[in-house]
Structure 1
Amino acid sequence: MLRERLTINKIEELLGAEAQSLLAFDSPKIAKDTLTLPNPNFVDAVFANSDRNNRVLGNLARFYDQGNLGGTGYLSIFPVDQGIEHSAGASFAKNPIYFDPENIVKLAVEAGCNGIASTLGVLGLMSRKYAHKIPFVVKINHNELLTYPNKFDQIMFASVDQAYNMGAAGIGATIYFGSPESARQIIEVSEAFEYAHEKGLFTILWCYLRNSAFKTDKDYHESADLTGQANHLGVTIGADFIKQKLPTNNGGYKMLNTGGPSYGKFDERIYTELSSDHPIDLARYQVVNNYMGKIGLINSGGASGKNDLADAVKTAVINKRAGGSGLIVGRKAFQRPFAEGVKLIQAIQDVYLNEAVTIV
């Protein structure tokens, strides 16, 4: 039975007062014809020229061809690592059925996602039943919050071989760029990504910033300049996709250099010629740092709140119009009843399927 998709009128309604600004924006700082944009032949256009072997290309093709967005060049990924990252009780108390790993996988399948990203435990327990039905992405490192006092560090929970042996299509990992532990994490993840490619698995890197100095008058963990550079470090170590928070501001380098140069390096033109204050320009700067779009930018959906559907659709519109490759949404979906979670994910997919929402 065919489902009713979001129309452009419904998308405009959900965007509310921001509809005109987001849907009619037509003057980006960086033109789209300088970018490699999502398209049905993305694997051939980009990765066939790379050092990725045939097994990686096969898994990438399967990933891009799966689900409701299959064959479009866009991706809808369902991630559930919050049982470790944010504690299982805090994450699943709203909807205890997701303590059961099978319900996690079922939601991804029912919603028509391109793939599911989760922990070794969740995917390993379900691998014989589902790994051939939907691409598995095993998240191999996590931050756990049981150590007292809490610390913020990504440590390895799983290996590439474990992901390969369960039939996974890819692996995922996080680096906390800007943190004291980032140097070790860069080495660990770079080595894991190299071995994953040898085994035929694609790679997704969560390029998150983590440093208390980045949060002052604004939360510069979400600044376009700093997240853009985190993305550029991520593609440098062989990520096939970058997961990043949607930028909400800019000027992180400027803030950190108040009183004189002391942190990093920047050029004033990244604020004047390469970006602006418009949300789509901020997101496009992230795309630019992903080798001008040759590595797909997947923005995260963020925490669950009061206006999840409208917030998710807005994020999808910004990502798509900027030249991004899709969304990775977890809490907004699994912290609500199963059927509602499916509808929310499919509403996001509808943004990418709607031809009226164009790349600017």
Structure 2
Amino acid sequence: MVATSTSHQPIADYLGEEADRLLAHSPKVPKSSLHLPGPDWVDRIFAQSDRNPQVLRSLQQLYGHGRLANTGYLSILPVDQGIEHSGAASFAPNPMYFDPQNIVELAIAGGCNAVATTLGVLGMVSRKYAHKIPFIVKLNHNENLSYPSNYDQIMFGSVEQAWNLGAVAVGATIYFGSPESGRQIQEVRKAFERAHELGMATILW
């Protein structure tokens, strides 16, 4: 049995019988092998990659904004399900968020690094907010308006449209393992390649 220190005692109390096993655990990967977040995250991690200087600038805009600015961490407000589930599924309890402006205002009030949502939402407010908080455009979506339901991520916007409205990044989803994943991988690869050419960061989720 491994004795727990007094500084860990409150945690040990919560863990109960599992305390010794969990608190005395020795990970197989040493801490020195981990790339931990920090203020130099973009320089230390991305600057060594093939990202061009404009993409690095976009990444720094993401990591350098909001209450977590320059910590290496990101806090992104994601509101990208409006097409997939309909706006009512997301906002019926709080109808004020049917207004795209209120979505962006919520991200700003929360001190987020960025707001990630659909092309339509960001397009409605781009001239007012693109210079106030980084935009991330979700390019593809599933849609539940068809019957029977068909689970597939399809493109609802282009990289050029995202760039024109002032986005610093684009995002996309791939349903890995699905019958459509091969097509989705090719579509997202092409979109991300184009985004990098235009200087935007890319996020896969």
Task: Give the alignment's TM-score, normalised by structure 2.
Answer: 0.88
Which residue number in structure 2 is paired with residue 195 of structure 1?
194
1:86 Cα deviation after fit: 2.0
> Structure 1 residue 67: deviation in Å?
0.5
Provide the secondary structure at the position in 2 that maps to 1:175.
Answer: coil
Partners in 2 of 1:26 and 1:122 — Cα distance? 46
Equivalent residue of 2:143, what SS? coil
How far off is 1:37 after superposition? 1.6
| Distance change >3 Å, CA 107–CA 182, structure 1 → 2 | same
Measured in 1, the distance between the counterparts of 2:133 and 2:110 equals: 11
Hey, what does 1:109 align to over in structure 2? 108
User: Among the aligned pairs, what percent are the same residue?
Assistant: 63
Deviations 1:44-101 (A, max 9, x none): 1121111111111111111101000001000101000121122211111111111110
1:151, 1:17 → 2: CA distance? 44
Write the deviation string for residues 314-345 of structure 1: whole angstroms up to 9, x where unpaired.
xxxxxxxxxxxxxxxxxxxxxxxxxxxxxxxx
Q: Aligned partners of 1:24 and 1:97: how far apart in 2? A: 46
Q: Deviations over 1:258-279 (max 9, x none)?
A: xxxxxxxxxxxxxxxxxxxxxx
Q: Distance in 1 between matches of 2:153 and 2:135?
A: 21
Offset at residue 181 of structure 1 (A): 0.3
Question: What amino acid is the match of 1:68?
Answer: R
Question: Which residue number corresponds to residue 167 of structure 1?
Answer: 166
How do 1:104-253 residues align onto structure 2 when only pairs under 5 Å count?
104-206=103-205
CA displacement, residues 265-307 of structure 1 (integer Å, 9 cap, x when unaligned): xxxxxxxxxxxxxxxxxxxxxxxxxxxxxxxxxxxxxxxxxxx
Letter in 2 for 1:55: Q
Query: 2:204 corresponds to which letter in structure 1?
Result: L
How far apart, in 2, do the equivalents of 1:64 and 1:141 lie? 24
Q: Tell me the amino acid that sits aligned with residue 96 of structure 1.
A: P
- Structure 1 residues 26, 83: CA separation in 2 closer, same or farther (over 3 Å shift)? same
Shift of residue 27, structure 1, vs aligned partner? 2.5
3-state SS of 1:177 partner: coil
Letter matched to residue 162 of structure 1:
Q
3-state DSSP class of the match of 1:55? helix
The AA in structure 1 aligned to 2:176 is F
* Superposition pairs of residues 262-277 of structure 1, within 5 angstroms: none
TM-aligned CA deviation for residue 18 of structure 1 = 5.5
Separation of aligned partners in 2, 1:177 and 1:94: 32
Unaligned 5+ runs, structure 2:
1-9
Alignment match, 1:335 = none
Change (3 A) 1:30 1:81: same
Match of 2:79 in 1: 80
Which residue of structure 1 lines up, in the alignment, with residue 68 of structure 2? 69
CA distance in 2 between partners of 1:42 and 1:18 (Å): 33
Q: Residue 75 of structure 2: SS of its match in structure 1?
A: strand
Query: For residues 26-105 of structure 1, what are the structure 2 equivalents within 5 Å?
Result: 26-105=25-104
Corresponding residue of 1:243: none
One-letter amino acid of the counterpart of residue 123, structure 2: G
Give the aligned residue type for 1:27. Answer: S
- Distance, in Å, in 2 between the alignment partners of 1:72 and 1:125 is 31
Q: 1: distance between equivalents of 2:36 and 2:84?
A: 32
Question: What residue is the counterpart of 1:288 in the other structure?
Answer: none
Q: Secondary structure at the match of 1:155?
A: strand
Rounded Cα–Cα distance in structure 1 between residues aligned with 2:26 and 2:66: 33
AA of the residue aligned to 2:74: L
For 2:51, what is the secondary structure of its paired residue?
coil
Number of equivalences:
192
Q: State the TM-score, normalized to the length of structure 1.
A: 0.51
Letter in 2 for 1:92: F
SS of 2:96's equivalent? helix
Alignment RMSD (CA, Å): 2.0
Deviation at 1:42, TM superposition (A): 1.0
Q: What is the distance in 2 between the residues matched to 1:55 and 1:74?
A: 20
For the pair shown, the structure with the greater C-alpha radius of gyration is 2
User: In structure 2, do the counterparts of structure 1 residues 17 and 59 end up closer, same or farther at CA, with 3 Å as the change threshold?
Assistant: same
Note closer, same or farther for the CA distance 1:110–1:25 as it changes in structure 2 (3 Å cut). Answer: farther
In structure 2, what is the Cα distance between the partners aligned to 1:129 and 1:96?
A: 21
Counterpart secondary structure, 2:174: strand
The answer for unaligned runs of 5 or more in structure 1 is 1-11, 207-360
